[in-house]
Amino acid sequence: MTESYQSKADDRPLLVTSDLSKSYGAVRALRGVSLDVAAGEIVGICGQNGAGKSTFVKILTGLVHPDAGSLEFEGAPRRFKSTLDSQIAGIAIVDQELSLVPQLTVEENMFLGHRDTRFIGGGPARRARCHEILRELGLERVSPRDRAGTLRIGERQLVEIGRLIARDAKLLILDEPTATLSDVEIEHVFRAVRSLVRQGRSVLYVSHRLGEVLDLCDRVVVFGDGELKGDHPVADLDREKLVRLIIGEAGTVSTPGAPLPGPEPVPVTTSLVVEGLTVPGRVRPFDLDVPGGTIVALAGQVGSGAGEVLRALAGLIPEARGTVRAGGMSPLGSPRRARRAGVRFVTDDRRGEGLFLADTVHHNLTATRLTEIARLGVLIRRRTLAIARAMARLVGVSDDKLHTAVGDLSGGNQQKVLIGRMLEPRPDVLLLDEPTRGVDVAGRAEIHQVIKRAAAAGSVVLVASTELDEIFDLGSKIIAMASGRVVMAADTGDVSPGDVLHAMTRPLAGGGQDD
C-alpha cells in the first residue's frame, strides 16, 4: 500500500462519477455507479466477468458514452466523445493485451499515438524524455533505440506504462497488467505504480488477482450485475471477505443437471487422454483422462494457461509437448493433425480468428467442408444449402438467416454459427474457449444447451471460461488453473464457487511461470 492515500484524503477528488448507467438493448451493463478517486490513490476494481467493470472503464476512456449520469475530472464536468478527449483530459489505459509494435523502437512505441508528437524535429527531446521515463520505471538497461520485440514480456508491460507517463496521464487505468508476468516482473510493475502515485498520479487497478489487489491498493471497489456492490479500505479486507463480496449470489450457484439428450444418442466410444502436456513458459505438466459424454470446465483468469491448453490440444501451438491421445492419434503439432484426430476448436476470438464476417451464414457454416460441397473446384449450391441448413438447425439459427452476412448478426447468433461449424461430423473432442463471450443472457442459455447436447452425443467437451456461473452450469468436472498450473481438480458437486475462486487467485508457492 502507498502512503499517499491518507495524505490526499481531504483534497478535492481527481475523479467523480455520479449515477453512471449504460444499457445495450435489454441488457443493463451499468446501473447508477457513483465513485470518487483521490489524487495519489490506488483503487482496486474487482468483480466477475460481466459485472460492469469493462463498461465503466470504457466510459472513462471515451470508448462508450453513458446513457445517464455525470463525470467530473479535476473538478470540471466531462463528457468524453472519443478516446482522444479522454487522453487530452489526462486519462490513459494499459489494456491486458499488449499493444506495442514489435518492429518499432522503444522510443517510437512510447510516443506512438501521442497527440503532441511532432513528425519533424523534436527527436533529441523525445529521446531524452524516453531515457528519463525508462529510468523512472527501473529500465536502465533498456535503450530507447531497442526494438520492442526484443524485450522480455515484463519489460514490454513497463514500456506500456511508460507510454502513459509520456502522455502526462493523471489517471492511469491498468487492466490485468500482470496476467502474463513472473513474480520478479510483477514486482517491477508494482514499484513503478508506487512511484507514480508518489508523484500525485492516481491508478485504477483492475485485476482478478486478489492478493495483488490487497497488497498494492489503498481501497477496493467491487462490481456485480452492473452495480457497485462494495467500496472498502484495504485495511478492512482480507481474502475471505473480498471473495465473499465478489461471489455474492454466485455462491449459491447450483450444480448442473444431466446433459440434454441429443437427437440421436450414440454409444460412448471416444476418450481423451493427456499426459504431461506442457507449453514452455505458459503451461506446466497437465494431465487429463476423460471418456466421451463428459464436459470438463477449465476455470482460470487471463494468463492462467487454460486457453493455452485448448490451443495446444487443437494443434495450434507447435512447441507444445506431451502424450495426447484422441481418436487413436495425437493432435499435437498442427491443426491438420488435430482435425484427423477428431478434435474441433472454437476460438475465443470469433471476429478475428473464427468467422468470415462479410460472408454469408451458409458459407461460414460449410467453410470446413469444401470437399463435400464442391465438384472439380466448383461449389454445388444446392448441396451447400442443404448441409448449412442442417447445421444451422443444430444450433438454433433460423433458415431465413442463411443468406445474411455473419457480421450483421447478433453476438449470440455469430457464436452459434461458429460452434455449429464444429458439430458435424460429430467431433471426438470439442474444445471451446470462452464460448459465450459477448453473448447476452438468452443466447448464452441456448449455447449452453448446444454444448450439453454435444456431450450427450458422445463427444469429450473441454470448456475454458473465466466465468464461475458458466463453469458450474456446464462442467461435470472442474479444473482450476493459475499461472500455468493446475491448482484444483474436482467433481462439480464437491466444490463451491468460492472454493474455485480461492484456488484461481491464491498466491502460488514457488512463484510464477517458468521463463
Most confident of the ranges 11-15, 221-225, 246-250, 260-264:
221-225
CA angle 400, 405, 410 (to 5 degrees): 80
Model confidence at 180, pLDDT cuts 50, 70, 90, reads low
Please name each of the domains of the chain with its CATH number.
4-252 (3.40.50.300), 253-342+427-515 (3.40.50.300), 354-426 (no CATH)
What's the pLDDT tens digit per position in 411-463? 788 889 999 888 888 899 999 998 987 676 667 788 999 999 999 999 999 99
What's the pLDDT tens digit per position in 378-417? 778 888 888 888 888 888 888 888 888 888 887 788 889 9
pLDDT computed for residue 343 by the predictor: 94
Sign of dihedral through CA atoms 219, 225, 227, 230? negative
What's the pLDDT tens digit per position in 457-467? 999 999 999 88
pLDDT computed for residue 154 by the predictor: 75
Number of helices and strands in the chain (H, E)? 18, 21
CA distance 7 to 5: 6
CA distances from 26 to 48, 50, 55, 440, 447 (A): 20, 15, 15, 9, 19
Model confidence at 179, pLDDT cuts 50, 70, 90, reads low
**The model's pTM:** 0.65
Q: Helix 411-420 vs helix 381-395: angle between axes, to the nearest 10 degrees?
A: 110
CA distance 174 to 93: 6
**262 compared with 273, residue with greater pLDDT:** 273
